[in-house]
Structure 1
Amino acid sequence: MIEALVSGKLHGQPTQKIAKTGKPFVVAKVRAHIGDADVFVNVIAFSQAACETLLALGDGDAVALAGSLTPKAWTDREGIARPALDLVASQVLTAYHVTRKPRALERKPPDPCESQQSSRHDELDDGAALDF
């Protein structure tokens, strides 16, 4: 098993399917640029968060996926072997996520338990006493 981070653009619309066990999953295809060529990554997602994120995207949307990768090959119409990758996505990140977190932090109400003094502390300070 290869743990990988793959980025590219969705090729087609992600599709939700139902397994024989009744559990939903999502399949998608991502076109990733490698060197001077493109390779298709066949994506399957089982986690609810990854499935919801993929289903919110459409053809051509940029996406980054993390998960278990399996290299494969397929033969085109001319009989030429082409590379392909199968990815079981555990995490999905889109450009929409990049702006969502800063906006959420801006809207975060002040913590009433924090005093004015403690709100000015260094974010890396763990509060432990220093022994010199």
Structure 2
Amino acid sequence: MIDGLVGGRLYGEAQIRTGQNGKRFVTCKVRATAGDGETLFVNVIAFDDDVQTALLALSDADSVALTGALTPKVWTDKNGLVKPALDMVAHGLLTAYNVRRKRQALGGDAASQTPHAGDDLDDPL
């Protein structure tokens, strides 16, 4: 298991599921861009209630940053090419909405401020 941070855009809509034990969880896909410009898909599952609620509030193509446990995988596309992918059990997330809300709570104007390195933008991360 690798503890990691992934930033990207939601690919499709998050889905609510129920496990065999009756416990609810949420799944989604995030499209991230690797350093070489190649697209990487992250299969996300969330058991934390706050993370589930936040994922369900997002729409297709919304930006999101997620923290959690990563597992590297590979898959084969329809042309037979082997491609990398990641599975993530998400423990925390940050969206543009969280940043605006935090800045407003601190008395700032979200439209005129930009984040600085080291800013504590949200408690879940």
TM-score tier (shorter): 0.7 to 0.9
**In the alignment, which residue of structure 2 is the partner of 1:45?**
46
Q: What is the SS of the residue equivalent to 2:13?
A: coil
Q: Kindly state the Cα deviation for residue 104 of structure 1 after the two structures are TM-superposed.
A: 2.4
Q: Kindly state the Cα deviation for residue 58 of structure 1 after the two structures are TM-superposed.
A: 0.6
Identity of aligned residues (%): 52
Q: Kindly state the Cα deviation for residue 6 of structure 1 after the two structures are TM-superposed.
A: 0.1
TM-score for both structures, normalised by structure 1: 0.78
Which residue identity lines up with residue 2 of structure 1 in the other structure? I
How far apart, CA to CA, are the structure 2 residues paired with 1:98 and 1:84? Answer: 28
CA deviations 1:21-74 (Å, max 9, x no partner) are 111100000000002210000000000000000000010000000000000000
**In the alignment, which residue of structure 2 is the partner of 1:127?**
none
**In the alignment, which residue of structure 2 is the partner of 1:5?**
5
How far apart, CA to CA, are the structure 2 residues paired with 1:39 and 1:71? Answer: 11
1:44-123 counterparts in 2 under 5 A? Answer: 44-106=45-107
Segments of structure 2 that go 5 or more residues without pairing to the other structure are 108-125
**In the alignment, which residue of structure 2 is the partner of 1:113?**
none
Q: Kindly state the Cα deviation for residue 103 of structure 1 after the two structures are TM-superposed.
A: 1.8
After superposing on structure 2, the runs of 4+ consecutive aligned residues of structure 1 that deviate more than 3 Å are none
**In the alignment, which residue of structure 1 is the partner of 2:24?**
24
Q: What is the SS of the residue equivalent to 2:51?
A: helix
Which residue identity lines up with residue 30 of structure 1 in the other structure? V
How far apart, CA to CA, are the structure 1 residues paired with 2:65 and 2:103? Answer: 19
CA RMSD of aligned residues (A): 0.8
1:119-130 counterparts in 2 under 5 A? Answer: none
CA deviations 1:67-87 (Å, max 9, x no partner) are 000000001111110101000
